[in-house]
Amino acid sequence: MSAQNIYSLDQHLEKNEEHTAQQTSQIYDAVKNSIKRYLHELEDTEPSEMYAMVLSQIEVPLLESVLEHTGGNQSRAAEYLGLNRGTLRKKLRIYDLD
């Protein structure tokens, strides 16, 4: 591989890392703002079991979106998510998405 090709590959990888960082930041910001809004709207009401509620509110659309993107292919979806297929299938059953 020539020095020019290596340089081009390095530039491409840097751009992908920047793009991924921006996307991650957008997701982080959206989740954080939603949680702040939720807490503000509660006013004087004490939240309970917030951790489980937030995880389910994030996990369901994540699973749905990845499955839709993979055309329902659970093996590919599991790879995208970094889960083994058995774990994905268990989560799909929990949320009645199977």
At residue 4, the pLDDT reads: 63
**Encoded tokens for 40:** 């503000």
Q: Which residues contact 59 (CB under 8 A, 6 or more apart)?
A: 91, 95
pTM given for the model: 0.69
Q: Which residues contact 62 (CB under 8 A, 6 or more apart)?
A: 81
At residue 12, the pLDDT reads: 61
Phi, psi (deg, nearest 5) at residue 44: -95, 0
Distances (CA, A) of 18 to 29, 31, 92, 98: 16, 20, 32, 35
pLDDT tens track of the chain, all 98 residues? 566 655 665 666 566 666 666 767 888 999 999 999 999 999 999 999 999 999 999 999 999 999 999 999 999 999 999 999 999 999 999 999 98
At residue 24, the pLDDT reads: 72
